[in-house]
């Protein structure tokens, strides 16, 4: 079954009671049992819910995985993975990553004796040289947030296998439409499903997808015990969003391509990050492991201090200044004070997250309107 068909049908069946084509919202906390322990596969909705199960099965199918877990947020999914670790363990991760991931690594789990080592994951030598006998997890974003560096998923997978290290890829920026890390050697895929998977900026959700049954059972134990699970209404909305993922991603990619070309030669742009350009350092890796180059672009404004950057970011009429990404609407984000504000300034700037950098989530509006909006803000 190909991607578009899986997005619409995987995990979803006509309701056996009414024949309803769309998966119902099972708005229930508990389920009738014929006798203690004798039930129809559902006991209590913190653990399992039919609407959420349909979503999890669809997510697994889209990532070519066997098991899916949906969470109340991407951070809840991240937290569940980190619960596999013990004091003294080390995590190898990227030096350019989402501020919320950096925050949970350094402000929450570091205090329990877990060490986080930040390296440039686009540099394979740096990755391998940072592995020690205490490394238990490699956590990779690709493309990275927000400077869009590319990590070679397959090559890092070989490193992880060589040293018997659990390997997780945050696939939020690409979506399963553009790349499938499990096929390239990852043990697990993580998504902030809030973004492209749901695609309509009306749900906060996370997801994990994997193939290893024993690992799935470990994660499910934490999933149920801690309770970071989404409600059925959110699961229904995310399932609805998945049905158009393939057509949305085509539009995101095409619009981003045209906007990137427009911005590349604009006199007000000092630097542009978009992996579709041949001179992007990760272009060849992107071509190898992605089906297109995505809908995310970051730019550094020329000769703009923080005040001027704020002024520019606040003048858009079609783009919306807001956190998040991956919705049908185009968004402008100022990482240094918004999504990456929890990262110390020196650490941000070391990887290029400077005060005059803006991150653009290109939506699926008419691209002419988007370019006109950029024109009226940036001028000549």
Place of tokens 């391998």: 128
Q: Over 90: is that where the pLDDT of 50 sits?
A: yes
Tens digits of residue pLDDT in 183-238: 999 999 999 999 999 999 999 999 999 999 999 999 999 999 999 999 999 999 99
Spatial CA neighbour of 169 closest among 128, 218, 210, 130: 210
- Answer positive or negative: Cα dihedral of 376, 378, 379, 380: negative
Place of tokens 């990227």: 94
pLDDT at 39: 86
Spatial CA neighbour of 348 closest among 74, 79, 107, 103: 103
* Residue 43 per-residue DSSP state: S
Q: For strand 188-192 and strand 90-94, is the pairing parallel, antiparallel, or unpaired?
A: unpaired
Please state the rounded mean pLDDT for residues 166-181.
98
Mean pLDDT of the chain: 96
Is position 287 annotated as part of the catalytic site?
no
Q: DSSP E strands: which ranges in 214-336?
A: 269-273, 296-301, 320-321, 331-333
- Answer positive or negative: Cα dihedral of 328, 197, 352, 285: negative
pLDDT at 35: 87
pTM of the model as a whole: 0.96
Is position 98 annotated as part of the catalytic site?
yes
Which percentage of the chain shows pLDDT scores above 70? 100
Contacts of range 184-189, beta carbons closer than 8 Å, 24 or more positions apart: 184/153, 184/154, 184/157, 184/289, 185/153, 185/154, 185/156, 185/157, 185/158, 185/160, 185/161, 186/153, 186/157, 187/160, 187/211, 187/212, 187/215, 188/81, 188/215, 189/63, 189/65
The domain spans of the chain are 3-242, 245-378
CATH fold of 3-242? 3.40.640
Residue 44 confidence class, pLDDT cut points 50, 70, 90: confident
pLDDT at 113: 97
183: left (phi over 0), alpha (psi -120 to 50) or beta: alpha
Task: Indicate the CATH number of 245-378 among 1.10.10.10, 2.70.70.10, 1.10.150.120, 3.90.1150.10.
Answer: 3.90.1150.10
Choosing from 98, 177, 216, 273, the catalytic residue is: 98
Q: How far apart are CA 198 and CA 36, in angstroms?
A: 37
Tens digits of residue pLDDT in 238-271: 999 999 999 999 999 999 999 999 999 999 999 9
Please state the rounded mean pLDDT for residues 26-55.
90
Choosing from 46, 115, 243, 271, the catalytic residue is: 46
Please state the rounded mean pLDDT for residues 122-144.
98
Spatial CA neighbour of 25 closest among 46, 49, 58: 49
Choosing from 57, 79, 95, 170, the catalytic residue is: 170
Q: How far apart are CA 289 and CA 204, in angstroms?
A: 27
Tens digits of residue pLDDT in 264-291: 999 999 999 999 999 999 999 999 999 9
pLDDT at 43: 85
Is position 195 annotated as part of the catalytic site?
yes
DSSP letters for 308-335: HHHHHHT--SSSEE-S---SSS-EEE-T
- CA-based end-to-end distance of the chain: 49
Spatial CA neighbour of 69 closest among 179, 180, 181, 217: 217
pLDDT at 380: 56
Choosing from 6, 52, 149, 195, the catalytic residue is: 195
User: Order of strands across the sheet with 67-71?
Assistant: 67-71, 206-210, 188-192, 166-170, 135-141, 90-94, 115-119
**Cβ atoms of 232 and 27 closer than 8 Å:** yes
- Phi and psi at 207, nearest 5°, equal -155, 150
pLDDT at 252: 98
Is position 257 annotated as part of the catalytic site?
no
pLDDT at 315: 96
């Amino acid at each position: 079954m190909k991607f578009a068909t899986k997005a619409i049908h995987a995990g979803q069946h006509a309701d056996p009671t009414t024949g309803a084509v769309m998966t119902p919202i099972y708005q229930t906390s508990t389920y009738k049992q014929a006798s203690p322990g004798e039930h129809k596969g559902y006991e209590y909705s913190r653990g399992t819910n039919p609407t959420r199960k349909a979503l999890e099965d669809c997510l697994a199918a889209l990532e070519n995985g066997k098991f899916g877990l949906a969470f109340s947020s991407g951070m809840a999914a991240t937290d569940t993975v980190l619960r596999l670790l013990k004091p003294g363990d080390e995590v190898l991760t990227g030096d350019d990553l989402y501020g919320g991931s950096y925050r949970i690594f350094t402000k929450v789990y570091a205090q329990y004796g877990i060490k986080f080592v930040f390296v440039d994951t686009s540099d394979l030598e740096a990755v391998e040289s940072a592995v020690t006998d205490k490394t238990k997890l490699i956590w990779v974003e690709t493309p990275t947030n927000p400077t869009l560096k590319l990590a070679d998923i397959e090559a890092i997978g070989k490193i992880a296998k060589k040293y018997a290290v659990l390997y997780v890829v945050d696939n939020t920026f690409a979506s399963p439409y553009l790349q499938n890390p499990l096929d390239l050697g990852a043990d697990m895929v993580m998504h902030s499903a809030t973004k492209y998977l749901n695609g309509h900026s009306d749900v906060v959700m996370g997801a994990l997808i994997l193939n290893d049954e024993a690992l799935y059972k470990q994660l499910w134990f934490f999933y149920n015990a801690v309770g970071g699970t989404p409600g059925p209404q959110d699961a229904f909305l995310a399932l609805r969003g998945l049905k158009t993922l393939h057509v949305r991603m085509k539009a995101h990619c095409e619009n981003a391509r045209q906007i990137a070309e427009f911005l590349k030669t604009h006199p007000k742009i000092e630097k542009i990050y978009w992996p579709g350009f041949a001179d992007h350092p990760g272009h060849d890796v992107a071509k190898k492991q992605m089906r297109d180059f995505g809908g995310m672009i970051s730019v550094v404004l020329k000769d703009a201090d923080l005040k001027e950057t704020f002024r520019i970011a606040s003048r858009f009429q079609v783009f919306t200044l807001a956190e998040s990404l991956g919705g049908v609407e185009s968004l402008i984000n100022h990482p240094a004070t918004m999504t990456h504000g929890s990262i110390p300034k020196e650490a941000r700037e070391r990887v290029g997250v400077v005060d005059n950098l803006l991150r653009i989530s290109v939506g699926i509006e008419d691209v002419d309107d988007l370019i006109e909006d950029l024109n009226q803000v940036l001028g000549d």
